[in-house]
Amino acid sequence: MVTSTHEASHRIFQDRPELLTPVFDLLGVPMSAKASVSVLSADVTEIQPLERRVDTVLRVEPSDGDAFLLAIETQGKRDNRKATSWSYCVAYLHEKFSLPVLLLITCTDVRTARWATGPFTCEVGGWTTHCTHPLVLSPDNVPVITDRRTAARNLAMATFSAITHSKNPESRAILEALLGALQEADPQTALYFSGLLEIGLGDTPARETWRKLMSFTNFFPGRGTLLEETYLEGQAEGEARGEARGEAKGEANAILRFLEARGICVPKAARDRIADCTDLDLLNRWLDRTPHVQSVDELFAEVAENTAHRAETGPEART
């Protein structure tokens, strides 16, 4: 089951590749100071009945070295099936892209992290066919950042640290340092990292601590992120126009602001479509998608698919 912590722990690598430099430093892996990073398809399905998917796959092109792939998985607990599935995914990506592959596992649990380091071997009678050595980020090696100035220098690392140490007794000090750093950041950056952090803290006491620090009320059950700020603005305006219209405006504004915070281009036609929508169920579906889509076309994909399905199964299609 994919959890919110799982999603945020690898999503941050997709959206904020600057995190890779300090991460490689932590792991002792040589890395160029400058590198081009692009997100690749994480689908490693080979045949129709068998589907395997890596959480994140990045193509890294150092300015002073050869390109390689970085496959990132987030692991919440020990799962012995990963011993074979991780090896499969690494071999598949190596074959598909003809590039060497590093496997990085992120964990918030120390025991799980120590198991995830492997190595995971395929051997018979002492002869090893292949061996998988994952790199692992966990509370054991991710620094605890409790200084505001340190957090401000690298918000991506500070946010990832807060997620990784969500079960740490010092979590409040970590969150307070990050909050101080976000208060000095531009609004869109603060919105992005605050929302990602709240999702990433999952079902932990640290999440409740963060929400108290931010003084927000959850108007989005199951989400509880900084999108609520925009919702409240829309709700206040909506009191004069009617509760339903105000709620729709709040959700529409939240979708637009979060897409912009993630750096996703929103053309005027798409902006108008979102802003003018009054269907709360549809707005909720769009809002759920905003942390994951890479374009507004993906945001609207469900509508397009449903329209096509109705056309195929409508009265005209059956005649």
Do 86 and 58 share a structural domain?
yes
Most confident of 12-21, 122-131, 139-148: 139-148
Burial 8-34 (b: 16+ CB within 10 A, else e): bbbbbbbbbbebbbbbbeeeeeebeee
Distance CA 289, CA 76 (A): 23
Distance CA 258, CA 231 (A): 12
Q: What is the CA radius of gyration of the chain?
A: 22
Strand, coil or helix: what is 83?
Answer: helix
Residue 23 within a domain: yes
Beta carbons of 240 and 43 less than 8 angstroms apart? no
| Residue owning tokens 């060497």 | 100
| Residue owning tokens 């700020």 | 229
Q: What is the pLDDT of residue 2?
A: 55
Sign for the CA dihedral angle at 214, 188, 258, 170 comes to: negative
Confidence of residue 94 (pLDDT cuts 50, 70, 90): very high
Distance CA 293, CA 75 (A): 22
Beta strands in the chain, from DSSP E residues, in sequence order? 35-40, 56-62, 68-74, 101-106, 120-124, 127-132, 135-137
Higher pLDDT, 144 or 216: 144
Do 152 and 251 share a structural domain?
no
Q: What is the pLDDT of residue 113?
A: 94
Report the mean per-residue pLDDT for the chain.
79
Q: What is the pLDDT of residue 46?
A: 52
Residue 319 within a domain: no
Confidence of residue 245 (pLDDT cuts 50, 70, 90): low
Mean pLDDT calculated for residue range 20-44: 78
Do 77 and 129 share a structural domain?
yes
Confidence of residue 224 (pLDDT cuts 50, 70, 90): very low
- The number of folded domains in the chain is 3
Contacts with 122 (C-beta within 8 Å, 6 or more apart), sequence order = 84, 87, 128, 129, 130, 131
Confidence of residue 99 (pLDDT cuts 50, 70, 90): very high
Do 180 and 104 share a structural domain?
no
Q: What is the pLDDT of residue 226?
A: 47
The string of pLDDT tens digits covering residues 33-69 is 778 888 777 665 554 444 557 788 899 998 888 899 9
Strand, coil or helix: what is 12?
Answer: helix
Mean pLDDT calculated for residue range 100-114: 93
Mean pLDDT calculated for residue range 259-278: 85
Mean pLDDT calculated for residue range 135-146: 93
Q: What is the pLDDT of residue 318?
A: 39
Percentage with pLDDT > 70 across the chain: 79
Sign for the CA dihedral angle at 303, 272, 193, 41 comes to: positive
Give the N- to C-terminal CA distance of the chain in Å, as an integer: 42
Distance CA 11, CA 5 (A): 10
Q: What is the pLDDT of residue 1?
A: 53
Range of the domain at 281: 227-313
Strand, coil or helix: what is 267?
Answer: coil
Do 264 and 171 share a structural domain?
no
Do 159 and 133 share a structural domain?
no
Closest CA to 91 of 123, 61, 132: 132
Quick check: 25 pLDDT over 80? yes
Higher pLDDT, 243 or 249: 249
Q: How far is CA 298 from the centre of its chain?
A: 16
Give the domain CATH number at 82. Answer: 3.40.1350
Distance CA 185, CA 182 (A): 5
Quick check: 133 pLDDT over 60? yes
Distance CA 3, CA 199 (A): 9
Q: Of 108, 137, 166, which marks where a domain is finished?
A: 137
Contacts with 9 (C-beta within 8 Å, 6 or more apart), sequence order = 74, 106, 108, 160, 163, 164, 200
Confidence of residue 139 (pLDDT cuts 50, 70, 90): very high
Do 16 and 119 share a structural domain?
yes
